[in-house]
């Protein structure tokens, strides 16, 4: 017993100077583990006489208590010290200047939209806006697309009650602008439009830009339109592109044209992207049809209008081949812009 008590006392001395978790644990095993000194001493109590047992037992209990209180105090001390050093190591200095090469530049479609707006606002076009939910009159009727007209088929959309629908193009904003102001008008607008479409090159929601110029008198002609749009296309795609006006049909313009640019992927020599024609269609335009002016009560005016898909311009400008990648919030694509 004397020997064991001495061993325990020695261990307690060691325990007092312990300063890490591992040493603490090995001392705990040494003193009170399954084969520890105290455990051994208690099991040897059976071998001594009743009187001695009482005395030695009390002594052992006192040693055990001393060990326990010392052990838990040490444990707390060490844990606190560990926590402090961990906190010090993991400290975040929020005042540190954060240098990064990951700067958000905005979505590519919105970058293109802003480029378009910059150009036209620079030419004194006013920026207009209109609602996503339109009525039949502004979206179709006033634009010379009567009920049952086959042109409605191409713009099938999502309908609400009472002839309300999600606008299929930004052209109704032309109508609203003319209803609210007198000529002269020079306006541009951009925004989301909706159609029942979904594939590689069509999405149920996409963005358009619309422009309208109207003046009193009959002097606004195709030459004005051609000049503005040719300059615009070069501003977007560079001076090197060739621009082509191809006769076309829209109910709200007469005459109408579609504008093609020389294919930027093959430089006009013909490839898969341009179906070996050397050209890509990018917008529709024309001289405003007299029935549109009639619908808004304008008399003795002339004007031109144009409309384009912003996603399409974005895809051509930056060589993106799947329209759907714009809406999938895949950072690997968006980060490239
Ligand atoms: N609204 C037409 C569309 O969605 C685009 C368009 C073509 C607008 C010719 C115009 C225009 O203003 O003159 O397909």
pLDDT tens, residue by residue, 145-203: 999 888 888 788 889 998 899 999 999 999 999 999 999 999 999 999 999 988 777 88
Please give the distance, rounded to the nearest whole angstrom, from the Cα atom of residue 311 to the centre of ligand 1: 15
Q: Which atom of ligand 1 is nearest to the CA of 308?
A: 5
- The pLDDT, as a whole number, for residue 100 is 66
Rounded CA-CA distance 246/249 in Å is: 10
Q: Give the per-residue pLDDT at 284.
A: 97
Pairing of strands 205-216, 253-262: unpaired
Atom 12, ligand 1: residue with shortest CA distance: 306
Query: Domain limits of the chain?
Result: 2-90, 108-334
Distance 307 CA to ligand 1 centre (A): 4
Strands annotated E in the chain: 126-128, 133-135, 164-166, 185-194, 205-216, 243-250, 253-262, 279-288, 301-309
Q: Return the pLDDT at 302.
A: 98
Q: Is 87 left (phi over 0), alpha (psi -120 to 50) or beta?
A: alpha
CATH architecture of 108-334: 2-Layer Sandwich (3.30)
> Hey, whose CA ends up nearest to atom 7 of ligand 1?
284
- For the chain, the residue count is 337
**CA of residue 154 to ligand 1 center, whole Å:** 12
Tell me the mean pLDDT in the region 23-36. 88
pLDDT score at 167: 97
- Chain-centroid distance, C-alpha 183: 39
Q: 125 C-alpha to center of ligand 1: Å?
A: 17
Cα–ligand 1 centroid distance for 44 (angstroms): 101
pLDDT at res. 57: 86
| Candidate from 250, 255, 287 with most ligand 1 atoms within 8 A of CB, to mutate | 250
pLDDT over 70 percentage in the chain: 98
Pocket of ligand 1, candidates 169, 249, 255, 288: which has the most ligand atoms within 8 Å of its Cβ, to mutate? 169
pLDDT of residue 105: 77
pTM of the model: 0.70
Which atom of ligand 1 is found nearest the CA of 288? 13
Q: Give the tens place of pLDDT for each residue, 242-282.
A: 999 999 999 999 999 999 999 988 888 998 888 999 999 99
- Residue 101 confidence (pLDDT): 67
Q: Report the separation in Å between the CA atom of 271 and the middle of ligand 1, taken as the mean of its atom positions.
A: 27
Q: Tell me if 188 sits within 8 A of 125, measured CB to CB.
A: yes
H/E element, 102? none
254 is in an annotated binding site: yes
Q: Which residues have any ligand 1 atom within 6 Å of their CB? A: 169, 171, 210, 250, 253, 284-286, 305-307
Tens digit of each residue's pLDDT (9 = 90 or more) over 49-76: 888 888 888 888 888 898 889 899 999 9
pLDDT at 39: 86
CB 316 within 8 A of CB 282: yes
Highest mean pLDDT among 2-6, 41-45, 147-151, 288-292: 288-292
For 283-297, the pLDDT digits (tens) are 999 999 999 999 999
- Top pLDDT among 233 and 47 is at 233
Mutation test of ligand 1: which of 134, 139, 284 has the most ligand atoms closer than 8 Å to its C-beta?
A: 284
């Amino acid at each position: 017993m004397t020997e064991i008590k001495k061993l325990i006392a020695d261990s307690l001395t060691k325990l007092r100077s312990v300063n890490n978790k591992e040493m603490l644990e090995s001392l705990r095993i040494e003193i009170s583990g399954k084969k520890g000194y105290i455990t051994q001493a208690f099991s040897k109590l059976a071998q001594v006489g009743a009187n001695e047992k009482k005395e030695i037992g009390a002594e052992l209990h006192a040693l055990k208590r001393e060990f326990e209180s010392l052990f838990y105090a040490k444990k707390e001390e060490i844990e606190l010290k560990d926590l402090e050093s961990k906190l010090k190591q993991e400290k975040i200095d929020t005042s540190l200047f954060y240098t990064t090469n990951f700067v958000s530049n905005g979505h590519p479609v919105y970058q293109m939209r802003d480029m378009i707006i910059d150009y036209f606002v620079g030419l004194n076009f006013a920026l207009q806006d209109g609602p996503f939910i339109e009525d039949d009159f502004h979206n179709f009727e006033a634009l010379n697309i009567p009920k049952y007209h086959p042109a409605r088929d191409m713009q099938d959309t999502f309908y609400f009650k009472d002839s309300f629908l999600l606008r299929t193009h930004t052209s109704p904003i032309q109508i609203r602008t003319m209803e609210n102001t007198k000529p002269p008008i020079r306006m541009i607008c951009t925004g989301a439009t909706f159609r029942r479409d979904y594939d590689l090159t069509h999405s149920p929601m996409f963005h358009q830009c619309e422009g309208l110029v109207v003046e009193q008198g009959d002097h606004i002609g195709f030459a004005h339109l051609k000049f503005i749009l040719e300059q615009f296309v070069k501003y977007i795609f560079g001076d090197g592109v060739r621009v082509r006006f191809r006769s076309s049909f829209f109910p709200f313009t007469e005459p109408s044209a579609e504008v093609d640019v020389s294919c930027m992927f093959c430089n006009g020599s013909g490839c898969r992207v341009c179906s070996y024609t050397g050209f890509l269609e990018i917008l529709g335009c024309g001289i405003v049809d007299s029935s549109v002016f009639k619908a808004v009560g304008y008399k003795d005016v002339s004007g031109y209008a144009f409309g384009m898909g912003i996603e399409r311009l974005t895809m051509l400008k930056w060589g993106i081949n799947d329209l759907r990648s714009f809406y999938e919030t895949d950072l690997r694509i968006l980060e490239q812009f």
